[in-house]
Amino acid sequence: MNKIFTNARLMLPGEEQPQLGRLIIDGDRIASTDDGTDKQTGEEIDCKGRLLAPGIVDLGVFAIDKPAFHYGGITRAALMPDQFPVLDLPAIIKHNAVEGKPDLWSHPIAAATKGLAGTQLAEIGLMKRSGAKAVATGRQWIADSGLMLKLMQYCRSLDLPLIVHSEDAGLTGGAVATNSETATRLGLSSATAAAEAISIARDIALVRETGAHVHFRQVTTEDGLNLIRAAKAENLPVTCGITPAHLLLSDIAINDFRTFTRLSPPLRSDENRLACIAAVKDGTIDVIASGHDPRGAADKRLPYAEAAPGMAGAETLLALSLTLVRDGTISIGRLFELLSTNPAKILAVDAGILQPGYQADFILIDEDSPWQVDTRKMAAAAGNTPFDGLPVQGRVTAIYKGGRAY
């Protein structure tokens, strides 16, 4: 029997604002959307005027953390290969592809090189057959340009997107911050922000050579974004993403040696942060992702230079991203392209959009519901957020995966 979600504000494809109507699902698929005038029979669920939007597809998490994902409205998560063991074998990919089902779908990303060591290509073709939706270099930059060329050629022939980390390791070395007055005053090892643009420039040149689809997982500098913008003007198959941290925080946040602000790539200058917001607005940035990487006390309660990079971002992803809508930077329709539709397209999964035939993965949201980020109360495996104490708005009130409430 059909389920009919009535009295909903639907976030439909191509619309900047939600439209009042109904969502009809048949089994685990969306059957149709309408304005409520057509006769339909089935079980009715009153959405009470809530925003009904596609479930978030989080592109590039470092842990499957179901409580945090449920809180944040994430119905699918693309798992980075930086695991123990590394996702570099078909059997490991197959095992991780079932993790979290049925209420969450994990899409494991295959390691580009064996052990993510950057020296020998992994069995990418076999991992694709086992369920890998993409390939990634992990937290590392592949310095060997010849190896990177071969990697892109393989990915192009297999029609798999390649997700890359963009920092030239020859420049960053053991740096933990971006060159700035703040890093100098704190005595932290730092590196030029140009390390990002240099890495991106090399990889775009190889995209031009191979035609491979490369997704730059986090682009955080104006120079890097200008390179992406120019590549898109050439119609090269490149996409890029960012996290809310690099949109809302600058390197000033590392004052007092706050290890929850130790990220990779590191926080940038405010000029770069504003350039990132402009890139979200003009369409240069395709994806906003959480970068979810829960780290406990053993990793974070250390001197800043010794602390592990990463933040728990899943349950704050939606609320923080909604600030871009409230500030008038983008429409709410554009926001769900960044959170849901575009990541699903990159992974080639039939989700991320409220359209007939697609998976019935969606969330109900109260955009105005106020709450405060509190590391002590987070659902995540660890509460290492740089936004501790921040008042935010926007809460998921219900989550549906394949048409079923969880």
Residue 125: give its domain's CATH number: 3.20.20.140
Q: In angstroms, what is the C-alpha Rg of the chain?
A: 21
The pLDDT of residue 37 is 74
Alpha helix locations (H) across 249-316? 270-282, 297-300
Instruction: Say if 45 falls within a structural domain.
Output: no
The pLDDT of residue 95 is 94
Contact 216, 203 (CB under 8 A): yes
Closest by alpha carbon to 322, among 394, 389, 396, 248? 394
The pLDDT of residue 100 is 84
Instruction: Say if 194 falls within a structural domain.
Output: yes
| End-to-end Cα separation, the chain, in angstroms | 19
The pLDDT of residue 36 is 75
In sign, the C-alpha dihedral spanning 84, 89, 93, 99 is negative
Instruction: Say if 240 falls within a structural domain.
Output: yes
Residues in Cβ contact with 7 at an 8 Å cutoff, skipping those fewer than 6 apart = 20, 22, 46, 47, 48, 49
What residue ranges of the chain have pLDDT lower than 70?
none
CB atoms within 10 A of CB 191: 23
The pLDDT of residue 40 is 78
Tens digits of residue pLDDT in 134-186? 999 999 999 999 999 999 999 999 999 999 999 999 999 989 999 999 999 99
What is the share, in percent, of the chain residues with pLDDT greater than 90?
A: 95
Instruction: Say if 252 falls within a structural domain.
Output: yes
The pLDDT of residue 330 is 98
Range of the domain at 151: 55-350+368-392
The pLDDT of residue 81 is 98
Tokens of 69: 């994902």
The pLDDT of residue 212 is 98
Instruction: Say if 37 falls within a structural domain.
Output: no
Residue 335 Cα to chain centre, angstroms: 13
Instruction: Say if 46 falls within a structural domain.
Output: no
Number of domains in the chain: 1
